[in-house]
């Protein structure tokens, strides 16, 4: 989805991928950013927090009337219907990120 948003073009692809992973781990309650993830990604969890919040905001407040190809594709069960996953509440996300 970030490919469709100009605001994300200036972000490093590796930082964007790491932030997406951290958001997914948080959304699915699969743990936080481990020392192994930090080592191999090169990013500390605190460095990713602002981008994680922006990504969750993108999921929460995206326009649903245009650019539906990506949403349609990832709503299919072949892709585990990830486009249908409910975004996190912004306050809860903030609480989880600051506590880790």
| pLDDT value for 31 | 87
Determine the pLDDT at residue 2: 85
On the question of pLDDT at 63 being above 80, the answer is: no
For residue 56, is it within any domain? Answer: yes
- The count of structural domains within the chain is 1
CATH number at residue 53: 1.10.472.10
pLDDT at 30 over 80: yes
Mutual orientation of helices 13-27 and 90-99 as an angle, nearest 10°? Answer: 100
Answer whether residue 85 is part of any domain. Answer: yes
pTM of the model: 0.85
Q: Does 22 map to a domain? A: yes
Residue 70 in any domain: the answer is yes
How far is residue 60's CA from residue 56's CA, in Å, rounded to a whole number? Answer: 6
Mean pLDDT, the chain, rounded, equals 90
Q: Looking at residues 36-50, what average pLDDT do you find?
A: 97
Q: Is residue 84 part of a domain?
A: yes
For residue 21, give its domain range: 10-99
| pLDDT band at residue 64 using 50, 70 and 90 as cut-offs | low
């Amino acid at each position: 989805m970030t490919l469709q948003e100009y605001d994300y073009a200036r972000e490093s692809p590796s930082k964007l991928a790491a932030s997406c992973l951290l958001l997914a781990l948080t959304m699915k309650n699969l743990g936080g950013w481990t020392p192994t993830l930090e080592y191999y990604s090169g990013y500390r969890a605190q460095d990713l927090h602002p981008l994680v919040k922006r990504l969750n905001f993108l999921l929460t407040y995206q326009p649903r009337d245009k650019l539906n190809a990506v949403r349609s594709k990832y709503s299919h069960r072949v892709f585990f219907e990830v486009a249908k996953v409910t975004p996190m509440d912004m306050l809860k996300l903030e609480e989880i990120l600051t506590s880790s």
